[in-house]
């Protein structure tokens, strides 16, 4: 029996995604609540705390994924409006 290692393929987050979100007014940061972390998204007008909780190891990855998601979603909507 051999051990099979699987590799998770991730899209590499880049600072351009984070910088774009900053220019749009988004700030994403962790908030510690009762030993677990929750993600807070602040757009300058209001802040929203997410429902999911994360460990200390997971929170960084989750924040980067959210920057990518916001960046991609905005560009998808922009492309849809152009057509």
Comparing CA positions, the residue from 62, 64, 37 lying closest to residue 49 is 37
Comparing CA positions, the residue from 64, 60, 24 lying closest to residue 42 is 24
**Cα–Cα distance for residue pair 33/47, rounded to 1 Å:** 16
Query: Could you state, in order of their start, the residue ranges of all structural domains in the chain?
Result: 15-82
Please state the pTM of the whole predicted model.
0.75
Neighbours of 1 (CB within 10 A): 3
Print pLDDT tens along the chain (83 aa). Answer: 566 766 655 566 578 888 999 999 999 999 999 999 999 999 989 999 999 999 999 999 999 999 999 999 988 888 776 65
For residue 42, with 0-12 CB atoms within 10 Å meaning exposed, 13-18 middle and 19 or more buried, which class applies? middle
């Amino acid at each position: 029996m051999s051990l099979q290692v699987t590799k998770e393929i991730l899209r590499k987050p880049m600072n351009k995604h984070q910088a774009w979100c900053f220019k749009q007014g988004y700030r994403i940061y962790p908030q510690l609540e009762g030993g677990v972390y929750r993600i807070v998204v602040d757009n300058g007008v209001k802040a929203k705390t997410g429902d999911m909780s994360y460990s200390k190891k997971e929170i960084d990855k989750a924040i980067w994924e959210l920057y990518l998601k916001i960046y991609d979603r905005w560009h998808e909507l922009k492309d849809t409006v152009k057509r």
